[in-house]
Structure 1
Amino acid sequence: MLPLLLEKPIATWYLVIQGDVLKAELPYFDICVANIPYQISSPLTFKLLSHRPVFRCAVIMFQREFAMRLVANPGDNLYCRLSVNTQLLARISHLLKIGRNNFKPPPKVDSSVVRIEPRSPLPPVSFKEWDGLIRLCFNRKNKTLGAIFKHKSVLSLLEKNYKTARALQQGQTGQADEKEPINDMEVFADMVEDPSADMYGVRDEGDEMEVEEDDVMAEGSDISDFKEMVMGVLKHGDFAEKRASKLTQVEFLYLLSIFNKAGIHFA
């Protein structure tokens, strides 16, 4: 094989593309092997996962904390929105840790090499809806879902979505259904724009957001009926006392499905 390769000009073996990988249109590729600037970890990961046609495998070195969030399981301290979203789209495995002293000069952080294998086919879910639910649940990941969904701001947003969806359904009566495109994964890439993310795109989701007492929905208010509907969905699925930090992919998918079945949407 080598003699045959040597007969061809070196320029035909590979293609060099100079530019910003986040802005460039990537060509077809089967395997990706990369040592990347850590500050683009999240947007590059989701850019790769949204690339079509689907590649076979990517082996990438990340900052160790980011890598451990990618592979975190329910119940782990680092299990977060990043974990859930990436694992929805791909099988991710940790290959090896690389200590900072393996580099000269040594950086301030350790690294890890991770293998990413995109799932095919993808779950039949709207990723905008999915990310809306996951974003809400992991905003206070250690609180019960029942407590999260009782807050006035959450109920107001969901009720607005509920009324909008009902109006659209009534307006489309007798017309062919227009389904939302499934391939809307670019919604995930904005996670690094969150102001709570550090310079490497690792979000600190361990701290719970404190909410004032008057932000909790009072009984007898105008949307108390809608609150009962939301609580009914959570109780029906046995989710009211569960926490996002403990839920699996299957449980999140089921939670989204029963909300959608009740006409409640997150995007």
Structure 2
Amino acid sequence: MPKVRIQKKSRTHDQVYRQGILFNTGIGQHILKNPLIVDAMVDKASIRNTETVLEVGPGTGNMTVKLLDKAKRVVACEVDPRLVAELQKRVQGTPYHNKLHVVVGDVLKTDLPYFDVCVANLPLPISSPFVFKLLFTDLSLVSLVDKQFANSFILYCILLCSLQVCSTDVSAGVCSTYGSQTRWVKITSNLLLKVESSVVRIEPLNPPPPINFQEWDGLVRIAFVRKNKTLGAAFKAKPVIEMLDKNYRIHCSVKNIPIDQELDMKAKLQAILDVNDFTLMRARTMDIDDFIRLLKCFNEEGIHFS
């Protein structure tokens, strides 16, 4: 009879198991334990003692206690009731107890109280939707995110925000410098996936550009689907043409503008790009002024992105 192979648990897994907390990696739970990275993130947030801080996914509170020491108040949003209990136990009987407000639930679906800045070790599955949720606010964010997401997000953010990314590769388990850590995340096939992370700081431009942000978001998403493609190619995609044609007809109906039933939206989009010299431009080489001008050219012709 062949020997049964027993998969060895990692040292981290054993330590967590002995502490009585088994993290749910299915929802992206990972605990940031390196004190150097925690301290650097808190310092980078430049928290004043009059500010309220939102922390998403506080876990067992390694970063929460540092934030409580700096801020007037910390709102910690945690979806796992087990970790909420651990966090409350950690601050119970300390001067921090009255400064901590815990919100139990999904941060994407929960109505959050007022806060001045967000500092977070974001779970992988919600990194993108949460960052985009904050992007069009006047709030700053300091967060640990997947390095691949951070790199792809730079080009998008740089158009609307001041973005700082510090990404220094380090070996697994040796997070000795601010910027990046390597962690291991369990996936459904019971294998271990190596994930590199980066710390990002995002701040809104002040004053913000004079644009409709929903319109802006729609335009930039189309342009950055393939950032190396020309705009002429990006606006030839069938889903893009259909969406803009629908928006155009709604706009004409609301404004009581007669609609040409034989309108060729593909040709109309191409004409707008050609006349304004945008056809051969690429999203990765354009700056904020280029995108504002492009949005204005489309809007003047009744083309809207929201």
Provide the TM-score with structure 2 as the length reference: 0.54
The aligned length equals 198
Partner of 2:214: 128
Residues 107-133 of structure 1 show CA distances to partners (whole Å, capped at 9, x for unaligned) of 111111111112334323223322322
* Aligned with 1:60 (options 135, 143, 164): 143
CA-CA distance at 1:100 after TM superposition: 5.0
Return the alpha-carbon distance in structure 2 between the equivalents of residues 160 and 28 of structure 1.
37
Picking from 238, 255, 259, the partner of 2:277 is 238
1:41 CA drift (Å): 0.6
**What residue number does 2:297 align with?**
258
Instruction: Say if 1:36 and 1:139 are closer, same or farther in 2 by CA, change over 3 A.
Output: closer
Q: Percent identity?
A: 41
1:169 Cα deviation (Å)?
A: 1.4
Counterpart of 1:158 in structure 2 is 244
Show the counterpart of 2:81: none
CA contact (8 A) 1:62 1:113 kept: yes
Alpha-carbon distance, 1:97 to partner: 2.8
Structure with max Cα Rg: 2
* Residue 29 of structure 1: how far off its partner (Å): 2.3
Q: Which runs of 5+ in 2 are unaligned?
A: 1-48, 50-68, 73-93, 176-181, 185-193
Q: Find the aligned partners of 1:100 and 1:22 in 2 and give their Cα distance.
A: 32
- SS where residue 265 of structure 1 aligns? coil
Residue aligning to 2:134: 48
Aligned 8 A contact 2:161 2:204 in 1: yes
Computed over aligned residues only, the root mean square deviation of the Cα atoms, in angstroms, reads: 3.3
How much does 1:34 deviate? 1.8
Contact 1:36 1:62 survives alignment (8 Å): yes
* Partner in structure 1 of residue 21 of structure 2: none
Alignment of 1:35-184 (within 5 A): 35-50=121-136, 54-55=138-139, 57-71=140-154, 83-84=155-156, 86-97=157-168, 99=170, 101-102=172-173, 106-107=183-184, 108-150=194-236, 154-170=240-256
CA distance in 2, matches of 1:50, 1:148: 24
Task: Give 1:151 deviation, angstroms.
Answer: 5.4
Shift of residue 61 of structure 1?
0.8
CA deviations over 1:52-109 (Å, ceiling 9, x no partner): xx33x322111111112222xxxxxxxxxxx42x334421111343535136994111
Partner of 1:15: 101
Please list every run of 5 or more consecutive structure 1 residues that lacks an aligned counterpart in the other structure: 72-82, 172-220
- After TM superposition, the score normalised by the length of structure 1 is 0.61
Greater fraction strand = 2
Q: 1:118 to 1:140 in 2, by over 3 A?
A: closer
Give the conservation status (yes or no) of the 8 Å contact 1:100–1:110.
no
| 2:147 counterpart letter in structure 1 | R
Deviations 1:132-160 (A, max 9, x none): 22233333443322234345664454344
Using a 3 Å threshold, how does the CA distance of structure 1 residues 164 and 31 change in structure 2: closer, same or farther?
closer
C-alpha contact 1:100 1:106 (8 A) present in aligned 2: no
- Map Cα deviations across residues 141-197 of structure 1 (whole Å, 9 max, x no partner): 4332223434566445434432332232128xxxxxxxxxxxxxxxxxxxxxxxxxx
Measured in 2, the distance between the counterparts of 1:238 and 1:15 equals 53
